Amino acid sequence: MDDGQQSSSGGARPSSSSNNNSNSSGSMTAELDPVLHSIGFEIGEVSPSQLTGRLPVTAKCCQPFQVLHGGVSAMVSEALASMGAHMASGYRRVAGVSLNINHFRSAAVGDVVLARAAPVHVGRSTQVWEVKLWKQDPSTQGKGPQISESRVTLLCNLPVPDNLKHAGDALKKYAQAGRTTTSRL
């Protein structure tokens, strides 16, 4: 999918000014990734072909110079790529083996960062995902300057241990619903 305003199903995405889903996206994020939720990240679209989300930049996710910590960008990248790879592999277990991230610009406290993860390669044993982060343009609520880009390589189709066979249930619930919230990526 290009960087336009269409969802993966071809329909228009809801406007970010719609508040109907902000609470549900927060609870969805809490269920899918408690660590992302703890820093205020909100997952938007959830599908095997794309995941999106947004992060209001607060002091909690900044380094001492009050800009977004590079490790937070890396954590967002790995989390979104891992969820996508898990779905794309039919909910088999995946494991990240490589993360490369380039930081282009900073995002300061008060900015909102938009994120989009999409597969570059989905193979039988490995997947490669590209994750881009942008500052949100306050005037349009759309993408502003890109702040980082990463490549995440994951082993996929690993066996799921019996004690973890329900680990993907929440992801299945939201992906099957074709869930799209307030993301404008």
DSSP states of 49-61? TEEEEEEE--GGG
Alpha-carbon torsion, ordered 173, 177, 182, 185, to 10 deg? 100
Q: Does domain 22-176 have CATH number 3.10.129.10?
A: yes
Query: pTM to 2 decimals?
Result: 0.82
- Side by side, the strands of the sheet bearing 42-47 are 42-47, 50-56, 112-122, 126-136, 143-158, 93-103
SS3 74: helix
Catalytic residue list: 78
pLDDT digits (tens, 9 = 90+) for 59-110: 999 999 999 999 999 999 999 999 999 999 999 999 999 999 999 999 999 9
**Structure tokens given for 114:** 């938009």
